[in-house]
Chains A and B, each alone.
Chain A
């Protein structure tokens, strides 16, 4: 695509920000513009998640953005993350906007916590088949998939735990990570309490207060800006047959994420690269089992083989597919996937704290279990 991420910005990641969500959004957006070497007056587009409480007009007011010609929102929770960049890139390519800021900010720990039972969400008719029955948290909804996946492929709680261990290992050397200097062992994982069997506490991502923003502009304009552009080689969304949000339990096969399969096909086709060309994978890790399924859907290994792929050490920084060098959402922070995109940009620039050598292509995925999205960022358009 003729678009690149030219700027990234974030607030501190905390458990109690002490600021409003609007302030977090405005701080992150201003930081991203500073990083891009652009002014609020350069911005004419804003994209966020439907779940974000910060209206585009409110963010524009705080930043002093005079006029907007493009504003858009993407649905389905964390599945929106990479799609915000897709929206921005399409707007830039079609001339609907010249500089678009994608943002996501929330007090997800000190304010509205997604991990609690959202009684209000039961008003959604799709949820009437799960919430009243007691299935009302994202962890429990994923656990239902995980149990069947274990049954079909012989995966174990330890196999899920290895994802948490590698994320926390990477976070341990990232000063921006909440779990900086706090790695865990597989025994720690196995000793952590049940949340919703077969998921343990350490299979679940953290809850974070904070904000992240990205600046998207054309490849040509990005070339003239201070930082090395992270080119958007492909950006796709995906929804599968008989799709539900977190509870697509009515498909024949409950061990797959076909919506991520749709994203994978789109990414490989549009970017012209394949799984073996990926130098760093930033995979959405709100719950560990879905990292395994993503590895299968994206074509890094065959069905049911992710546990062996993970156990082989492939996801280490020096492995064949370094995973989440920033520590992911289990280790760094839970910013609905947006902090993962920022990490992908740093890996392309060569400025990450846990920098992987010779990075040409970085794959990023968004929330799983929901209609989702993905990105391939690269050194060249």
Chain B
């Protein structure tokens, strides 16, 4: 057994990694590429770089490798070995002390700030790893970043859920207007009807677009992410195929439509959730929600 906390303390004690110099000085071509990619049309970046680019200057590049003393790399490796192999999303907070001028050459150092866990999350048990990076021009700190990542042990695949007793579960009525949705669920795709005429997204779906009158519905595959718009905790009476109490949430998907589904976990309005699919049998797979790990 790997002692994650002990290993984390060892890496943290090493403090800041050696400064790693950016491949190129701050330069206009890279600034322009970045502005284009991000879609930022601010005209002011001719002599200074957008602050949010700071991490770009010290990226390792396509074939780059982490330096041996990089604490994040070292910690990830330890967690991989301990079985916490997965990452879904990360979050970073950056602080900028000043604009970087074209021609300045930055370097970066990173230290391990904190490793907490193991924590039970909707995705499985995991550790939150926090690092702090500092960018310098010479000896002057110009920007900082706290970076947080959840490294988790993926739950058995798919996430273990009590088998819904097939004979009991209420099955949806399905007709030619709605079949695409259930076919999507069988393929673990959350499909939203999109009008083939005007592009209107619509759920629940129907055969004729109320906006343009077209009768050629298509669909898009949703990212399956959204937030809880409302919910109930159902206690009485018993519902076939469900164990009371259970939560049903009305979720507003990022694409803008709302959809009902069972929610596993503590509900609240605004809770970020994502779709999970549960196979009932060969014909039916039900979508439901679980809290997002990166919330």
Contacts and interface: CB of A to CB of B under 8 A. Distances in A.
A and B from one assembly?
yes
Interface of A: 115-117, 119, 122-137, 140, 143-145, 147-148, 151, 193-199, 247, 249-250, 254
Given A148-B229, A247-B260, A254-B250, 4 more contacts: A117-B238, A128-B173, A128-B174, A145-B230
B237 interface: yes
B250 A249 contact: yes
Q: Could you tell me the dominant secondary structure of chain B's interface residues?
A: loop
B248 A122 contact: no
**Interface pairs A-B: 3 shortest CB-CB:** A128-B172, A197-B233, A148-B230
Given A117-B239, A126-B204, A147 B171 contact: no
B142 to A, nearest CB: 43
A194 B204 CA distance: 29
Contacts of B239: 117, 134, 136-137
Q: Point out which of A126, A147, A195, A247 has the most chain B C-beta atoms below 10 A from its C-beta.
A: A147
Given A119-B170, A135-B232, A250 B204 contact: yes
Contact of A132 (B172, B204, B235, B236): B172
Contact of A133 (B203, B235, B262, B269): B262
A147 B178 contact: no
Interface string B147-181: 00000000000000000000001111111011000
6 contacts: A117-B170, A125-B178, A129-B260, A134-B248, A136-B170, A199-B232
B203 to A, nearest CB: 7
A151 B204 CA distance: 24
A125 B260 contact: no
Interface of B: 169-175, 177-178, 203-204, 229-242, 245-246, 248, 250, 257-262, 269, 286, 288
A117 B237 contact: yes
Contacts of A143: 232, 234
A112 to B, nearest CB: 14
A175 B170 CA distance: 42
Contact of A250 (B170, B235, B258, B261): B258
Given A117-B237, A135-B248, A193-B235, A250 B257 contact: yes
Given A148-B269, A197-B233, A133 B171 contact: no
B288 A133 contact: yes
A254 B248 contact: no
Contacts of B174: 125, 128
A186 to B, nearest CB: 21
A320 B38 CA distance: 60
Given A140-B232, A151-B269, A250-B258, A132 B169 contact: yes
A134 to B, nearest CB: 5
B233 to A, nearest CB: 4
B231 A129 contact: no
A131 B242 CA distance: 11
A134 B173 contact: no
Contact of B170 (A132, A140, A144, A199): A132
Contacts of B233: 194, 196-197
